[in-house]
Structure 1
Amino acid sequence: MGQINVEVCYATDTLQFRRALRLEAGATIRQALDVSGLAVEVPGIDLAAMAVGLYGKKKTLDTVLREHDRVEVYRPLIADPKNARRRKVRKS
């Protein structure tokens, strides 16, 4: 069936995780995260509870990957973007 090249990315204000992987065709986001070692390098991260996506679009862990996909793990928002914009407008 062949293999595909993908990348797994995660970032915080103090850490950047970026790992290129070669997986069997038909692999899912869940499998990419398992193979990437992200859970080992970032202790305490709960990958099952975090949002994931491909190129900025949210996807499920069971999404099948394609060649050159970039799997992104999203952190929870600390502020509601709408409220932040409203506060900014009020200040100006």
Structure 2
Amino acid sequence: MVEIEVVYAGVDRQVLLAVAVPSGTSLRAAVGASGIAAQFPELDLVDCPLGIFGKVVTDADTRAVKPGDRIEIYRSLLADPKEVRRLRAAKAALAKRQGS
């Protein structure tokens, strides 16, 4: 058995679960075995992005867990961060022009 953690930060709360899974279990299967879906029914565990210690894992369906892994379940972004920064910069530039 391999000891891992599964983490998800919802809008209103965060959950960290310690889980033991058989050696060779994929990241996605380990998340499914954690039971976290029961606590967050809105999660789509089949397609949601997963990561380990802040780094996205592209092969979550095939990559096997390693002892001590902290699997993170990522939510979809509501807005593109680059677009938000661009809009904020444009708004600040407009305010500066109008104030001068």
| Same fold at TM > 0.5 | yes
Match of 1:42 in 2: 40
Please give the secondary structure, in 2, of the residue aligned with 1:45. Answer: coil
* Alpha-carbon displacement from aligned partner over 1:53-86 (angstroms, at most 9, x marks no partner): 1112222222111110011111001011101111
By percentage of residues, which structure has more helix?
2
Q: Tell me the matched-pair count.
A: 90
Query: Residues 15-30 of structure 1: matches in 2 within 5 Å?
Result: 15-30=13-28
Which has a greater percent of strand?
1
What's the counterpart of residue 67 of structure 1? 67
- Unpaired runs of 5+ residues, structure 2, are 93-100
Instruction: Please list every run of 5 or more consecutive structure 1 residues that lacks an aligned counterpart in the other structure.
Output: none
TM-score normalised to the size of structure 2?
0.80
Q: How far 1:25 sits from its partner (Å)? A: 1.7
Q: CA deviation at 1:90?
A: 2.4
Q: CA RMSD in A?
A: 1.3
TM-score (norm 1): 0.86
Rg (Cα) greater in structure: 2
